[in-house]
Structure 1
Amino acid sequence: MDQAGLFQALKSIGLPVAYSHFTVTQQNPAPAPPFITYQFAYSSDVMADNQNYLEVSNYQVELYTTKKDLAAEKKVQDKFKELGIPFSKLESWLDDEKLFQILYEIQLIGV
């Protein structure tokens, strides 16, 4: 799966999705939570003999909610399981924004 495929998979969950952040204008206001952002974090390619043999792209997928939303978390996690994408999960309360941030770390291999 590549980045475009990840976007489509996240979009199929049924929540607003954007790469990195939502671009807010008068005609396009920020979506109300819950919503998802994602972005490339770093690569950890498999290398040997001065070559990259296998591309490993690490992404952060962030779910934002106004309250602890187990149903929204389950939708994201079920999508990862459906696609065979292992994930790790962290949770934070963002006091300035008054939002929960559920951060999923995933790897896309071979893209």
Structure 2
Amino acid sequence: MASKMTLSDLHKRLKATGIPVAYSHFKVSEESQAPAPPYILYLETATTSFYADNKAYKRIKSVDIELYTAKKDLEKESLIEKLLNDANLPYQPDETYLESQQVFKRTYEVWVD
């Protein structure tokens, strides 16, 4: 079940880690390049609505928080997990190595209002 946290609240908490953060992707231009790992991307992946009396009275957003690192980084993972635990946000982690980018991607699925 989602906490009372919003996407905006989540962004603020992620930014407080000191790791570069963006929603979906970093905007890349001639003046601005994407950061080198580690960095965090987060993205709303689905919304579930609960209905009563023919109205949506509650919407819960599924959000993926993706931590990208050049090598397995237990310290950064612990930082994210502490942030989620302190915010009472249950999470489901998953991890993969992206060969094409040569980075680890650790994804935390969370639910917010």
> What is the deviation of 1:76?
0.5
1:18 is aligned to 2:22: yes
Q: Which amino acid aligns with 1:32?
A: A
Partner of 2:80: 76
Q: Which amino acid aligns with 1:64?
A: Y
Q: How does 1:1-111 map to 2 (within 5 A)?
A: 1-108=5-112, 111=113
Task: State percent identity of aligned pairs.
Answer: 36
Structure 1 segments of 4 or more deviating over 6 A? Answer: none
Report the Cα distance in structure 2 between the residues aligned to 1:103 and 1:48, rounded to whole angstroms: 33
> What is the deviation of 1:42?
0.5
What are the ranges of 5 or more consecutive residues in structure 1 without an aligned counterpart? none
Matched residue count: 109
Report the Cα distance in structure 1 between the residues aligned to 2:96 and 2:51, rounded to whole angstroms: 34
Report the Cα distance in structure 2 between the residues aligned to 1:91 and 1:49, rounded to whole angstroms: 41
RMSD of the TM alignment (CA)? 1.0
Q: Which amino acid aligns with 2:50?
A: V
TM-score scaled by structure 2?
A: 0.91
Q: 1:72-107, CA deviations, whole angstroms, 9 ceiling, x for partnerless residues?
A: 000101000111100000000101000100011000
Report the Cα distance in structure 1 between the residues aligned to 2:35 and 2:7, rounded to whole angstroms: 22
